[in-house]
Amino acid sequence: MKLSGAQILLECLRQEGVTHIFGYPGGSVLPIYDAIFDCHDIKHILVRHEQGAAHMADGFARSTGKVGVCLATSGPGATNLVTGIATAYMDSIPMVAITGQVRTTAIGKDAFQEADITGITMPITKHNFLVKRVEDLANALAEAFHIARTGRPGPVLVDIPLDVSKNLIEFDVKADYPSLISIPSYRPAGPSGRVPELQIRKAAQLIAEAERPVLYVGGGAVASGAQAEVTALAEKTNILVTTTLLGKGSLDETHPLSIGMLGMHGTAYANHAVNQSDLLIAVGARFDDRVTGNVDKFATGAKVIHIDIDPAEIGKVIQPDVPIVGDVKAILTELLKLVAPRPASDWNDQIMEWKRRFPLIYPDDGQLYAEHAIEKLSALFDHDCIMATDVGQHQMWAAQYFKCRRTRQWITSGGLGTMGFGLPAAIGAAFANPDKRVVCLSGDGSFQMMTQELMTATVYGLPVIALIVNNKSLGMVRQWQEMFYEERYSQVDLQASPDFVKLVEAYGGVGFRARTPDELDEVLQKAKAITDRPVVIDCLIPTSENVYPMIPSGQTVDEMLVKTDLEAAKASVHADGEEWSFSAEEAVLSHYVEAVNAAQQEKAQ
């Protein structure tokens, strides 16, 4: 049968098992939208901004592990996708972005709505294609999906000129869609490939010899679906597990062997543990600068085992003693057979002691804090909701206080740190997980970057709950200005913001406001009962709150800053999710007194 390029595109998407396309129409994708008009098995979601489409495809992918698909027209449509593609690229998220292009004869002539999107996205895609002949379209799409989901996943862009999607050719999907892709120049490691046995044996040996080992687990463990293997390895060896921002959930964060996130805003105990370890087992993690701080002083006493599917990550930042290239799940499975069981040791006790001395804490003074909001939100859905975040202080608080039980429950822009990501990513996740509640933790700044997607949530009846931690400022920037720029607050004031309650109502959703923990409890119950439209909860928190602990950029755990507010410390506090009282835990108080003294001395100097 003769099919147009646009019809072939949809046939190919069907073959790839695509269920949702997040897109926005325009001139050079008119033939594609005409084909979509007749397509009822693949759902097209009309967004309100192409960046929203890219983030939705991303949220869809992060919450399922499947390839997310977005679609935009040439020129401005394509360039609007760019931030979303870069976000996915930095976090190795499988995505196929399809863009229209001006007709092949007009390319290079500065035609109306022409943008060289393959050129623009070259550094932010794993690969991209400009398809110049309809005969090449099916192959390009098959390769695009293959490249996006295999090896270290990533976004792939396919640019389709208008005439290519219009032209008709004889096409039989069974015969003409390549089922087995072989690209001679692309042979990534995979779950079924051979594993480097010798290296794994060496790793097992180092683990047997180590006295102070730590597992440092990143997004690679999530991508390869290795939660069970990480858990089994930790349990068999009693090695405590810290994760990166993207590795959250690789071990249930309520597991006794979990010590939370490490790095700039990681837990003090995770950072102390890594710093004093004699063996660091990096699993699908890339020694990002937000994790290491000053690399030369990072975990100086530790030997390093580095497991990663991307050979280029090995030795990029840190030269490991035992590099192991391959699929995390496959390698951990082998490693598990070789490691000897190891009882919990003094080292485990030491880390637990740090955990007692330096818990995550926030005041319990009747005020509403972001930490409350996060804990209550999580509890509201029995800790089984999917949490998407925006970027800023609220994101770091969420990383500290939202305890993931599993992978793919936590959706956040790590590498690029894209404000505006949260709401559309939550919407994408909601499409993929109709049986789960999806919440979005946002800031008053970030939320205003993608607000228009509330309309998408309303149109499709998605009960996404967006909780805005409203500190009336660009909090994270304000924090840096306070700490490192002598409190010269430049352009961070957001006193002037829309009334978020009215705003969501204008979009057809429901809005609430909470000023105290009790008020929040009340509105959360109401929010939970709403199941057919988006909800926004405007949570008013103090402007002056800072995220602690904090290791300033490029420094070490020795320079870690902790909460220095003695008044707050004296009050009873919430610590690591439990009610604590300071009088009961002298060690903590003495730590605070130390910190306050140090801070005061510094000021006096």
Ligand X SMILES: Cc1ncc(C[n+]2csc(CCOP(=O)(O)OP(=O)(O)O)c2C)c(N)n1
Residue 292 binds what, of ligand X, another protein, none (CB under 5 to 8 Å, by partner type)?
A: none
Q: Is 145 helix (H, G, I), strand (E, B) or coil?
A: helix
Distance (Å, whole) CA 373 – CA 226:
30
Q: Provide the CA 314 distance to its chain's centre, in angstroms.
A: 22
Place of tokens 């057809």: 508
Distance (Å, whole) CA 379 – CA 377:
5
Q: Which of 76, 119, 498, 554 binds another protein (CB under 8 A)?
A: 119
Per-residue x/- track, 374-393, ligand X (CB under 6 A): ----------------xxxx
Rounded to 5°, the CA angle 515-516-520 comes to 90
Q: Which stretch binds ligand X (CB under 6 A): 3-11, 100-108, 136-144, 412-420?
A: 412-420
Beta bridge partners of 567: none
127 sits near another protein (criterion: CB under 8 A): yes
Q: Provide the CA 522 distance to its chain's centre, in angstroms.
A: 29
**Could you give the residue ranges of the DSSP H alpha helices within 246-392?**
268-276, 289-292, 328-338, 346-357, 370-380
- The residue (of 514 and 588) whose beta carbon lies closer to ligand X is 514
Q: Which of 445, 517, 534, 549 binds ligand X (CB under 6 A)?
A: 445
582 sits near another protein (criterion: CB under 8 A): no
- The residue (of 126 and 272) whose beta carbon lies closer to another protein is 126
- The residue (of 76 and 108) whose beta carbon lies closer to another protein is 108
Strands 168-170 and 2-4: antiparallel
Q: Which one-letter DSSP state was computed for residue 468?
A: E
Residue 316 binds what, of another protein, ligand X, none (CB under 5 to 8 Å, by partner type)?
A: another protein
CA atoms within 13 A on the CB side of 97: 41
123 sits near another protein (criterion: CB under 8 A): yes
Q: Which stretch binds ligand X (CB under 6 A): 139-147, 253-261, 271-279, 414-422?
A: 414-422
Q: Which stretch binds ligand X (CB under 6 A): 15-23, 72-80, 236-244, 418-426?
A: 418-426
Strands 410-411 and 386-389: parallel
Strands 438-443 and 386-389: parallel
265 sits near ligand X (criterion: CB under 6 A): no
Place of tokens 């090695």: 239
Distance (Å, whole) CA 361 – CA 573:
6
Q: Which of 475, 517, 534, 549 binds ligand X (CB under 6 A)?
A: 475
CA atoms within 13 A on the CB side of 464: 36
| CB of residue 310 to another protein, shortest distance in Å | 7
Per-residue x/- track, 301-330, another protein (CB under 8 A): ---------xxx-xxx--x-----------
Contacts with ligand X by CB under 6 A: the residue count is: 20
Residue 477 binds what, of another protein, ligand X, none (CB under 5 to 8 Å, by partner type)?
A: ligand X
443 sits near ligand X (criterion: CB under 6 A): yes
Distance (Å, whole) CA 592 – CA 602:
15
Q: Which stretch binds ligand X (CB under 6 A): 86-94, 216-224, 318-326, 442-450?
A: 442-450
Residues in contact with ligand X by the rule CB under 6 A: 390-394, 417-420, 443-446, 469, 471, 473-477
